Amino acid sequence: MAARKDGLAGTYVALAERHNRAGLNEPVAPTVGRDIHKRVTAGGWMRVTVRRASADDAAVLAGLRFRWLTESGDAVNWTRVLSSRLSPPG
């Protein structure tokens, strides 16, 4: 998929299927401009915004990472491991 760079610097916009098409595995072609609004309002598509994050998004990224680790069952002792990898203060 070739994401389209939006007017906002560093923001990329693509479309993804809102509804699962189980088993069909159809490729989804990105569309641009007015087509996005038309397809979103039709309910069959959703607008996905991908942006370059920053340190201000640390908590959001941590939330996603926590969800991933919980989902995969790898969560045990990760807080201790993470803390040990941080630079000492000062």
Q: Tell me if 35 contacts another protein by CB under 8 A.
A: no
Torsion of CA 38, 34, 9, 52, to 10 degrees: 30
Q: Tell me if 37 contacts another protein by CB under 8 A.
A: no
CB nearer to another protein: give 34 or 89.
Answer: 89
Interface pick for another protein out of 12, 31, 36, 39 (rule CB under 8 A) = 12
Q: Tell me if 8 contacts another protein by CB under 8 A.
A: no
- Collapsing DSSP to helix, strand or coil, 84 comes out as helix
Q: How many CB atoms lie within 10 A of CB 13?
A: 19
CB nearer to another protein: give 16 or 32.
Answer: 16
Which residues does residue 4 pair with via DSSP β-bridges, in sequence order? 13
Q: Tell me if 78 contacts another protein by CB under 8 A.
A: yes
Retrieve residue 16's tokens. Answer: 């993804």
